[in-house]
A and B are shown apart, each in its own frame.
Chain A
Amino acid sequence: MSSTVIQNQTLIEGEFTQNVRNDSADRILGMVSYFKDNRIWDIKDPLDNLKWDSVNFHIPSMSKYFPIDYKNSFRKSQNWIGYVTEVYPNSFKAKIQDANIQNSTYEDAEFDFEDIENEDKKLIKLGNAFYWSVGHEIRRGTLSKQSIIRFKRLPKLSSADFDEAIDLAEDLNDNINWD
């Protein structure tokens, strides 16, 4: 808990207690939600509740990037995007492509089901796409090598989306220069 001065609507992240009058509360509450008596108050709540009151404000950081926790991050990784080409009882084959280089060549790879998280196993189907990354993760300051496989999750195409994709493909086909 620290005391923070609010000036010109510049909000500073953190929690603090401040005695507020209606007029200053109006300016403050116009920007953020606030906590009082262990509940979140809507900014439309009557300001009468705040007459010369001691209010515990929680001001989230809105104006700058969130602080990134350097101790929980990922060092440079090698990333691929893959497409399932064959499914076996305990493994699947895929074409994989370097995700960091546009138009890179495809390579073949095989993955065991046991390397796939349970919730992703239902997505192992012909043609489905997945991401595979190998790199060094820093978690709580400790470096460890990680291999991450995660299937792509996208909304199903509507018939309009499908038609649009077909139209785009036909346009591209019509505009191929065969010289």
Chain B
Amino acid sequence: MLKDYFQLRTLSLIIIGDFNPAIIQPFWLAKKGLIKEQEANSAKVEIVHPQLTRYDLDWVFLEISENRFVFNSSKEPFFDIVRDLVSGIFTFLPETPISAIGINHLLHYTLPREEQYLELGNRLTPLRNWENVLDDPKLLELNITEQKRRDKHKGHYAVKIQPSELVPKYGVLFSINDHLALEEGETGRETELIKRLNLIWNESKERPERVVEQLWTNLNI
């Protein structure tokens, strides 16, 4: 099973909308009771500026620009807490319009043997099709999209497979993009998309491992 080769999972939650970066500082989060005061005190603040705010709370890295709000975490025990933080922030900012949410689950694996690593690319996109076209062709990146979401919400689900730069050799990265868009008639205000994020969160969190495991089984490497 592919899970035997699991190395690391990270979360990158990206929110698209209109934001005021200077507001969302660590002490604002602590004042609203969304993080601990001690976390606000020890936050590693890179920049707080009307156009860009960036800081690290140790369990989550935040970057807020005028149109993009990013939460990154490489600590799996905190993924639910990151979701709570997102939900909490926008509960306090109900008039902030949000046009899309991308929940990006990044799963890194290390395959034990070079043959398996190369065969993964060959099974995903048969390289015999490239005979007499390229010398010694290799797959570098593959994107596959589920255009309509299974849960019928507006958005899509996509899987990207590429070499992992984080883990030792023969590393493979599966990037799952669970994308939520506005339904017809929605304004993006009153936490419409945040409520939907909360609704799909558990499934969004669980599905990536099922996806990569089923794919690995299908590829029969």
Residues of chain A having any CB pair with chain B under 8 Å: 32-33, 40, 42-43, 60, 62, 65-66, 68-70, 72-77, 79, 81, 99-102, 117, 119-120, 131, 133, 135, 137, 146, 148, 150, 152-155
Q: A75-B8, A117-B36, A119-B38 are in contact. Are A43 and B80 (CB under 8 A)?
A: no
Contact with A along B94-120 (1 / 0, CB 8 A): 000000000010100000000000000
The answer to whether A73 and B202 have CB atoms under 8 Å apart is no
Residues of chain B having any CB pair with chain A under 8 Å: 6-10, 12, 32-38, 46-47, 49-52, 54, 61, 63, 65, 68, 70, 72, 74-78, 80-81, 84-85, 87-88, 91-92, 104, 106, 166-167, 202-203, 205-206
Q: A60-B54, A76-B6 are in contact. Are A33 and B88 (CB under 8 A)?
A: no
The CA-CA distance from A33 to B35 in the complex, in Å, is: 27
Q: How far is the CB of A43 from chain B (nearest CB, A)?
A: 7
7 A-B interface contacts by CB (under 8 A): A42-B50, A60-B47, A68-B8, A79-B77, A102-B203, A119-B36, A154-B88
- A-B pair number, CB within 8 angstroms: 103
Q: How far is the CB of A100 from chain B (nearest CB, A)?
A: 6
Q: Which residue of B lies closest to A164 (CB)?
A: B195
Given A60-B46, A73-B8, A75-B7, 10 new contacts (CB under 8 A): A42-B50, A65-B12, A72-B74, A74-B76, A102-B206, A119-B36, A120-B36, A131-B80, A154-B87, A155-B92
Contact partner, B84, options A69, A75, A120, A153, Cβ 8 Å: A153
The CA-CA distance from A152 to B216 in the complex, in Å, is: 35
Contact partner, A70, options B38, B80, B88, B167, Cβ 8 Å: B167
Residues of A within 8 A of B61 (CB): 66
Contact partner, A60, options B50, B52, B76, B92, Cβ 8 Å: B52
Q: A60-B46, A99-B80 are in contact. Are A32 and B75 (CB under 8 A)?
A: no
Residues of A within 8 A of B34 (CB): 153, 155
The CA-CA distance from A8 to B82 in the complex, in Å, is: 34
Residues of B within 8 A of A72 (CB): 74
The CA-CA distance from A166 to B78 in the complex, in Å, is: 29
The answer to whether B68 and A62 have CB atoms under 8 Å apart is yes
Q: A60-B52, A99-B80 are in contact. Are A73 and B88 (CB under 8 A)?
A: no
The CA-CA distance from A34 to B27 in the complex, in Å, is: 24
Q: How far is the CB of B140 from chain A (nearest CB, A)?
A: 16
The answer to whether A155 and B8 have CB atoms under 8 Å apart is no
The answer to whether B47 and A70 have CB atoms under 8 Å apart is no
Residues of B within 8 A of A74 (CB): 74-78
